[in-house]
């Protein structure tokens, strides 16, 4: 076990008691919510004066077991802190979502994904057991064998079935560096075909693959990004300062090689929030030189975005320019790989947003995760796009159009951002029947919000 495990467990126990005390202090008629310093949700919520649950004692890694390759982690621990603790052991979580301030509990209840997902699935699949604070005010330990109904329904429940207090997760060994190959394609069908072959064989260009994702800049400029762990020394790139990672991918033909430390690879997208830092001017050469390096990170841009939304700065500027307001289109969707080209062609023709992130995904096993029912043994591609478009004739016109197209292609949409589904369609897509059974068992008095109310009605 890691050295500070005993002290960390004591501190965690104190944190759990503090959490329970704050739960008991919430009036019985009030909804229970978390008090969080950070968030990676992109949907608005109704304001409330209700006091949130105290999670201040649930932010640490409790212990790491290098021999068993497991870690016990508090639910509000960020992946930044988790990775910093496991890497000295030569270990990392099986899936490390892209942004540093995503919490382990948040990634499990809200789904996370990254370039290991083609072989390791989603973060909740590597959870061996969890302690969950339920709506009934009880801390319940769940696993594949204990309270299996809550264990399986927890992913994609977004805190409406309970909050992860402690998670025991599997880890995997990692090497110090990641060698990258960025392969240019001039047609989407060729990119997706190469991605499919790589996933099926586990190899690219004759060698094994550890990480796999892609970027679409346009219909005739797209890239497959292949990563291989290595211990071999050599020159390293640094995209935590003036150099911008996603720009380093671009080239005219063939393949471009690169190498990063394992830590810099895991956080390669965080420095510029993929490419969204451009909205704040952070990619302009002059601004880049003046921008403090410590603030080149997603959490800084998130704070700026909250200010923009609070004061409607973007729409005010558009009005001054004589242009209509903008609709936020910040979404991740999963589409079967066999329909991915069809979706991308449609998207590029109908939604003026580029670049687009591609991240392949296969569930690790045949387990059933009812609230996000993607099929085992089938490859999906997560398509991520994050920007704004001119408002349409109705609220959320572009988002609604995307929802319809994704459903037509037998895909699914993550719920961390705006959603516009009707109740019946929502229940069909996210297994409302199973959700209600589990909800009634573990939150009989509806102390926690309902998933539809939270995800669609923004309560």
pLDDT at position 29: 82
pLDDT digits (tens, 9 = 90+) for 194-245: 999 999 999 999 999 999 999 999 999 999 999 999 999 899 999 999 999 9
**Residue 206, both tokens:** 């004759």
pLDDT of residue 323 exceeding 90, the answer is no
Q: Measure the CA–CA gap between 318 and 95, rounded to whole angstroms.
A: 39
pTM of the prediction? 0.94
Res. 314 pLDDT band, cuts 50 70 90: confident
Tokens 């190899």 sit on residue:
203
Predicted pLDDT at 4: 53
- The per-residue pLDDT of the chain, averaged, comes to 93
How far apart are the C-alpha atoms of 129 and 126, rounded to whole Å? 9
Would you mind telling me the total number of residues written for the chain in this entry? 459
Both tokens of 193, joined, read 């075909």
Please, which residues have CB within 8 angstroms of residue 103's CB and are 6 or more apart in sequence? 38, 75, 76, 77, 78, 79
**Any residues with CB less than 8 A from the CB of 442 and at least 6 apart, and which?**
134, 135, 136, 140, 150, 161, 162
């Amino acid at each position: 076990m890691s050295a500070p495990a005993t002290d960390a467990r004591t501190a965690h126990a104190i944190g759990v008691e503090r959490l329970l005390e704050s739960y008991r202090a919430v009036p019985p008629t009030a909804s229970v919510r978390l008090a969080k310093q950070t968030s990676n949700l992109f949907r608005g919520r109704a304001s409330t004066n209700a006091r949130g649950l105290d999670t201040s004692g649930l932010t640490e890694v409790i212990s790491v077991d290098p021999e068993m390759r497991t870690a016990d982690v508090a639910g509000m621990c960020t992946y930044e802190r988790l990775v910093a603790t496991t890497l000295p052991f030569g270990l990392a979580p099986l899936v490390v979502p892209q942004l540093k301030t995503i919490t382990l509990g948040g990634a499990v209840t809200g789904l996370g994904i990254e370039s290991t997902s083609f072989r390791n699935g989603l973060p909740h699949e590597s959870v061996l057991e969890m302690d969950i604070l339920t709506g009934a005010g009880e801390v319940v330990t769940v696993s594949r064998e204990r309270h299996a109904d809550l264990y399986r329904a927890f992913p994609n429940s977004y805190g409406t079935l309970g909050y992860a207090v402690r998670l025991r997760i599997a880890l995997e060994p990692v090497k110090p560096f990641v060698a990258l190959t960025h392969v240019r394609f001039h047609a989407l069908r060729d990119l997706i075909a190469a991605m499919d072959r790589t996933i099926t064989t586990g190899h690219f260009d004759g060698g094994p693959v550890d990480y796999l994702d892609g970027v679409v800049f346009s219909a005739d400029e797209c890239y497959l990004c292949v990563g291989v762990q290595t211990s071999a020394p050599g020159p390293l790139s640094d995209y935590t300062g003036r150099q911008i990672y996603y720009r380093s991918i671009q080239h005219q033909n063939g393949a471009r090689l690169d190498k990063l430390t394992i830590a810099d690879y895991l956080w390669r997208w965080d420095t510029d929030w993929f490419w969204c830092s451009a909205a704040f001017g952070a990619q302009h050469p002059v601004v880049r030189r003046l921008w403090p390096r410590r603030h080149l990170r997603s959490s800084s841009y998130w704070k700026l975005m909250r200010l923009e939304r609070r004061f409607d700065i973007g729409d005010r500027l558009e009005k001054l320019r004589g242009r209509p307001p903008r609709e936020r289109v910040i979404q991740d969707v999963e589409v079967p790989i066999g329909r991915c080209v069809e979706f991308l062609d449609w998207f590029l023709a109908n939604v003026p947003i580029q670049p687009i992130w591609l991240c392949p995904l296969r569930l690790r096993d045949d387990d059933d995760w009812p609230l996000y029912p993607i099929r085992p043994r089938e490859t999906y591609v997560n398509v991520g796009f994050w920007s704004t478009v001119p408002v349409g004739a109705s609220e959320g016109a572009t988002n609604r159009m995307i929802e319809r197209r994704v459903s037509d292609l037998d895909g699914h949409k993550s719920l961390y951002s705006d959603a516009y589904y009707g109740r019946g369609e929502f229940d069909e897509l996210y297994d409302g029947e199973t959700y209600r059974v589990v909800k009634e068992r573990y939150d009989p008095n509806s102390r926690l919000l309902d998933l539809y109310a939270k995800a669609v009605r923004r309560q």
